[in-house]
Amino acid sequence: MMAKLLSAWGYEADVVQDGYRALELMERKRYGLAIVDYYMPGMNGVELFHRMHEQDPELTTILLTGYTTIDVVYPAIEAGVLRVLSKPADFEELLPILQEHLGSTV
């Protein structure tokens, strides 16, 4: 659903099922922004952020989570994640962030 919305807003989006596939894509393609779920198979979103940041220190990352507890939010912000957004995502909150970091398409 997120990819369809991003496409409707004029952004190109790749969707993967886990962090390892995201890292594989990053080896072949440069991204302006990553929207990462906290809970996923293999590694959590903060771990993925650290690994993505090793490959591309300039990559802006937004973390989505259904668990906005201090033990999820604080490590993410401390690591350098731009924003932690609650799931389900508030698309009215997301669009201005995308426009600021990727430019406006709508």
What are the residues whose beta carbons fall under 8 Å from the beta carbon of 37, sequence distance 6 or more? 45, 63, 64, 65, 87
Residue closest to 26 by CA, chosen among 3, 49, 42? 49
In angstroms, what CA-CA distances link 94 with 4, 17, 50, 62, 70? Answer: 14, 21, 22, 9, 21
Residues 41-92: tens digit of each pLDDT = 889 999 999 999 999 999 999 999 998 888 889 999 999 999 999 988 888 8
Q: Domain locations in the chain?
A: 28-102
What's the pLDDT at 101? 87
CA distance 4 to 57: 27
Q: Which CATH architecture has domain 28-102?
A: 3-Layer(aba) Sandwich (3.40)
Q: Residue 3 — pLDDT band, cuts 50, 70, 90?
A: confident
Q: Residue 105 — pLDDT band, cuts 50, 70, 90?
A: low
- Using the CB atoms, write b or e for 67-91: b if 16+ within 10 Å: eeeeebbebbeeeebbebbeeeeee
What's the pLDDT at 56? 95
What's the pLDDT at 68? 84
Residues 15-43: tens digit of each pLDDT = 999 999 999 999 999 999 999 999 998 89
